[in-house]
Amino acid sequence: MDTRPPAPTPAPPAETPASEARARPGFHPRAEPPGDAAEDRRLEALIEASWDTMGPVERHLAGVVLDHLDDLAAYSAAELASLSGASKATVSRFFRRLGFETFAEARHRARSLRAAGVPVPGRPAADPSAAHVGAAQANLARAGAALDPAVIGPVADLLASAAQVVVVGFRNSYPVALHLREQLLQARPRVALAPQPGQSVGEELAQLGPGDAVVCVGFRRRPAGFGAVVDLVLDAGVPTVLLVDPGARRHVPRATHRLEVPVDGCGAFDDYGAAMTTVCVLADAVLDRVGAAGRERIDALTSSYRSSGELEEG
């Protein structure tokens, strides 16, 4: 029989307002940090690992941060302090506890994710439609260099004169690549799209030579093999055009031509309006250069559509 006296009951923690001590719904604090090193860098995991050592004010601040993970990059330290009711000094200490030098470092990390194409929502706009239109207009204005005739002209010359053209696009870039291919095909023959469903790009690229041309459409987030495809065609001596966002500059130095188009959206997702406008301008320039042959091809395609009944009339 155990004759030891019972262990004393721990004193309950001091009463704190429920709003300060609450855990975010779905968030379960625990003492042990996650084992995966990559997971440790996520704010949720960092907060979870430190939860038991936080005081009431820090826990409330943690709840506010968790509620605003999606748009944290849009807030300043002062705004975050105002939202949480904490002081700026408390905000600074909180992020140092999580392993960041400053709140600015944590915010930069969040912004870096968005710049890489991760769909991180922005702050809600009073008029979302107007905000999206404004972002699209800003992208068009910034894409002015790519749309300049002095830049578009040599690209159009190449695509009009090449024996065959292959347009390459992966992931989000595939619809842009498909649209460019379809427009070029109206103006000239022998325009292919890669990769075809269920296929790799090697079959399309192996047959190309210096008399051909490749357009690599590479908007974020590009697959890891995008650079290898660019290198492959350039090493084969094939003139290559890059239609990319500014984040693809590391692929640019060896390219024959570059059309750089921003795709920044005001919300979680990228805006491809400027990219599609660039496709329109480029295809028009190619059609202009092929002259009568292009017009005859359009007439023949129109007749084919009419004969087959594929398209609506009127």
- In the chain, count H helices and then E strands: 15, 5
pLDDT value for 21: 38
Residue range 135-308, CATH number: 3.40.50.10490
pLDDT in tens, 165-206: 999 999 889 999 999 999 999 999 999 999 988 777 887 888
pTM reported for the whole predicted model: 0.62
Which of 107-111, 139-143, 179-183 comes out lowest in average pLDDT?
107-111
CB count within 10 Å of CB 74 equals 17
pLDDT in tens, 7-34: 443 443 343 333 333 444 344 433 333 3
Which DSSP helix (H) or strand (E) runs through 244? strand 240-244
Q: Is the pLDDT of residue 248 over 80?
A: no
For residues 47-57, average pLDDT: 83
Q: How many residues does the chain have?
A: 314
Q: Is the pLDDT of residue 267 over 60?
A: yes
Which of 39-43, 70-74, 80-84, 291-295 comes out lowest in average pLDDT?
39-43
Share of the chain above pLDDT 90, in %: 28
Domain ranges of the chain: 18-115, 135-308
Contact partners, residue 151, CB within 8 Å, separation at least 6:
145, 257, 259
pLDDT value for 40: 33
Contact partners, residue 85, CB within 8 Å, separation at least 6:
60
Separation between Cα atoms, residue 49 and residue 275, nearest integer Å: 43
Answer with the residue of higher pLDDT: 13 or 240: 240
* 3-class state of residue 215 by DSSP: strand
pLDDT value for 36: 33
For residues 286-300, average pLDDT: 88
pLDDT value for 125: 62
pLDDT value for 283: 96
Q: Is the pLDDT of residue 219 over 70?
A: yes
